[in-house]
Structure 1
């Protein structure tokens, strides 16, 4: 890596990661379902925690602002998911061993990634990696992710961002359910991690005018929006409206250097190709090689070549951040704040080399004179400007709500509205009949749990993007059916039958065990 000017630059750089998957346990295996969870866990979550633990051991603090949705932490702590993950890692190890011992001709052209010689060499490396991951998981993850995450938060290595239960698209959600989901989501983080987040990553960075008052009432002091929501001026956090709640905007010029709709580091020819599989072993033995090259013609993955590309891209990004801090500070006449924000799953799952890039970057930035800190530290350091009024917005296509509220998903919007109306009416009636001194109502709890799973923002996103759209519609309608089935049975006066239904659905959808319908705001 080339040596940059080590002189300090003004302001602060913040790296923000958003960790989220929908509830996948008990809802399909392949190609969408639990496989999605296990792939992300093995390729992104395990390496990221390893990187953060390594850097924490070097007494480095304030490294990243880590968003963790309640639904993903629920899965990373769930005994069923932990057992499934252990089996998945063992299967990965066996598939790698199969590749390492391959002798059968594959019919692949010489010099490509799927010749027996290339697969054997790849399998040896992959076996070592799978074995290391399995040992890491067995030694450290037996009680789930929460103990590991709590250590990092306690040490100040990361700042935690929370979010509402089940990742709903908040602007379209009934206000009472929106308030309930947010408060329960923050409480869930407090119970698991020993820290109630003071900041959140709002699902899809979605915002509607007035939501800042909801945040203030829930104790949220800052949240993320996309750059265009701040009219492209992301050099400082901005209080929203007449509140003290600060919106931090993603700097697109910096963020898109890594990951953009059209380009970015992961598409470099040296990096492992995400889309090219060896169908015999299910491994990914090819490098990107070049644009427009057929999968069968792609070259074998070369770790040395990829490692050199990582160094070059770390150097490039450090230079970009330095230049951006200098230019933005000069433009506004005071130290500026630069925020790069990404989905956590980019680092390792989509971009195999991403965790290595992150580790080297977080060492290289301070060496290049860049102050690295969290969003909370940015507020403490005074990197906040004048109040602003935000427009309705998101970080989706068009930066508006079209992905979650457009014509293509109008049926899901209608479904959500009907299910929420049914659920709230039923729960209100059940709680009123039970009286103020009643114990928890597990039927009402499950109705709200299934409702929140119905309105997950993942389902319309997958439909709008034509990414496993059939699965997404199936999941939305499945949880809607569960909500209606339990609610209708309860409304018909068949309490015993409603309890049996709630118990049955809870076997598949038993996340958020502390969810308590009694805390739903009254109509």
Structure 2
């Protein structure tokens, strides 16, 4: 892409408000494989993205910078960042990273061409830098993260640095979900966030930004006041949030002109020649020592990563982005005749995991925007300040390919659509029967005891219905793993429900306990809160 080199340091105020929204999500990976797909994905993201992002936000919070970003944390990510097994696994992963870096720093042999990223002298220099970075993260993890991610995120919310967005348990594609499960997943997800962070979110990032007409009424009933959609859902006019239907629930749309400046299907800053190349590995250690160099340069010919060159590119892209935001706010405000609101939204994992320099860019952008006369605020700030237009009727939509539902309901995943419907029906029938039996076993008016069997049925059902599995199949990204996971959780649901339905209560309890050892997330999930049948 062509990058503007105009200065972004002008402090002349521009009208309106800018909001940065980050969506943090991975599927449940603990106990379900390590490599090439599984826990490694979690630990890579944690190290490259979540640790640096929290570091950046803590620095900014220490300067009393408030209302900087709207940060979505899905319940399934929050669960993994708090899980003792995952915390131990992360420490082991960081230690292994340090060992691999030490091995690289001592490299003497190799047949790579001189001047390339895999040449021995380049690997030694890169290994020394990686070793120092790994040691820093190990020290930071021991000091700050050993009790999980929730205390750190709660402190950032308490400080007013971030607005947290919540979401439904296990990240289901809501438009295709049975309404009872949709309501249950959302309410339990909001409650999970409230318990972890001490704040129950009033805004959500709907999984995949997916919407079906009428969902706004469920949001309103659950206490959700605003949610994210993609720009085309608002017919391309994202200059203001819009109340949906006859409710007060506001949909905020992602501004694609601004968002695609950073990351798009075909271009964006991370592809710049100076940045670290995500796809090029050093085969001896698994480290990534190359810079992008050029889009058509083979991996073996990539140049060594140069931190100073990358740092200069970050400054260029910060200036370009700030200039873009200023111009967009000015143009949109003039177009609508009132101060406009511009929302840039991204997957959090872009910043550090996919784009190594992303956290540095984020920190500098969040400093540069106010200095350049741009008012920065959260979605909650925008709603409170009146950046809201007239009501709108939203179409069925998502932020996936085609901006419709095809990624999650198309021909490629037709079998998963059928599987999901069948599993949902099985689970609801089993849980309804269990609740009916529990009610009949206690005196009239007495509380029904919690049922770990029914809880685990719903837990496995929601994991089956995760939107990640059809997404990975449609995109042919570890499709075999995705199908395996969907069918594994479906099998768990059927197995426990089948034992319960046939009157083998002890067997059902044993099966539920066994599956819970692998899938024991969302410990507060309570089947008694499942909405009754209509």
1:415 to 415, 419, 424: 419
Tell me which residue corresponds to 1:91.
96
Tell me which residue corresponds to 2:117.
113
Task: Report if the CA contact (8 A) 2:8-2:323 is conserved.
Answer: no
Task: Report if the CA contact (8 A) 2:8-2:320 is conserved.
Answer: no
2:71 to 66, 69, 73: 66
Tell me which residue corresponds to 1:389.
393
2:509 to 470, 483, 499: 499
Alpha-carbon offset, residue 5 of structure 1: 2.3
Partner Cα separation in structure 1 for residue 259 and residue 490 of structure 2: 37
The question of 1:521 aligning with 2:531 is answered: yes
Q: What pairs up with 1:111-510 in 2 under 5 angstroms? A: 111-435=115-439, 437-510=447-520
Uncovered stretches (5+) of structure 2, i.e. residues with no partner: 440-445
Alpha-carbon offset, residue 292 of structure 1: 1.0
Q: What per-residue deviation string (whole Å, max 9, x for no partner) do you get for residues 463-482 of structure 1?
A: 00000000000000000000
Alpha-carbon offset, residue 3 of structure 1: 5.2
Alpha-carbon offset, residue 291 of structure 1: 1.1
- The SS at the match of 1:25 is coil
- The SS at the match of 1:261 is coil
Partner Cα separation in structure 2 for residue 140 and residue 8 of structure 1: 38
Partner Cα separation in structure 2 for residue 346 and residue 118 of structure 1: 26
Partner Cα separation in structure 1 for residue 68 and residue 129 of structure 2: 30
Task: Report if the CA contact (8 A) 2:8-2:322 is conserved.
Answer: no
TM-score w.r.t. the length of structure 1 is 0.99
Greater shift, 257-266 or 2-11, is seen at 2-11
Partner Cα separation in structure 2 for residue 117 and residue 229 of structure 1: 52
Uncovered stretches (5+) of structure 1, i.e. residues with no partner: none
Partner Cα separation in structure 2 for residue 3 and residue 91 of structure 1: 41
Q: What per-residue deviation string (whole Å, max 9, x for no partner) do you get for residues 178-197 of structure 1?
A: 00000000000000000000
The question of 1:12 aligning with 2:22 is answered: no
Alpha-carbon offset, residue 110 of structure 1: 1.3
Alpha-carbon offset, residue 15 of structure 1: 0.1
Partner Cα separation in structure 1 for residue 180 and residue 455 of structure 2: 15
Q: What per-residue deviation string (whole Å, max 9, x for no partner) do you get for residues 327-386 of structure 1?
A: 000000000000000000000000000000000000000000000000000011110000
Partner Cα separation in structure 1 for residue 525 and residue 10 of structure 2: 52
Partner Cα separation in structure 1 for residue 138 and residue 401 of structure 2: 38
Q: What per-residue deviation string (whole Å, max 9, x for no partner) do you get for residues 382-436 of structure 1?
A: 1000000000000000000000000000000000000000000010010011006
- The SS at the match of 2:22 is strand
- The SS at the match of 2:70 is strand
Partner Cα separation in structure 1 for residue 532 and residue 32 of structure 2: 32
Partner Cα separation in structure 1 for residue 271 and residue 8 of structure 2: 25
Partner Cα separation in structure 1 for residue 298 and residue 134 of structure 2: 28
Alpha-carbon offset, residue 6 of structure 1: 1.1
Alpha-carbon offset, residue 438 of structure 1: 1.9
- The SS at the match of 2:92 is helix
Tell me which residue corresponds to 1:50.
55
Partner Cα separation in structure 2 for residue 515 and residue 185 of structure 1: 9
Partner Cα separation in structure 2 for residue 419 and residue 59 of structure 1: 49
Alpha-carbon offset, residue 307 of structure 1: 0.2
- The SS at the match of 2:28 is coil
Partner Cα separation in structure 2 for residue 252 and residue 90 of structure 1: 40
The question of 1:28 aligning with 2:38 is answered: no
TM-score w.r.t. the length of structure 2 is 0.97
Task: Report if the CA contact (8 A) 2:9-2:368 is conserved.
Answer: no
Partner Cα separation in structure 2 for residue 404 and residue 336 of structure 1: 33
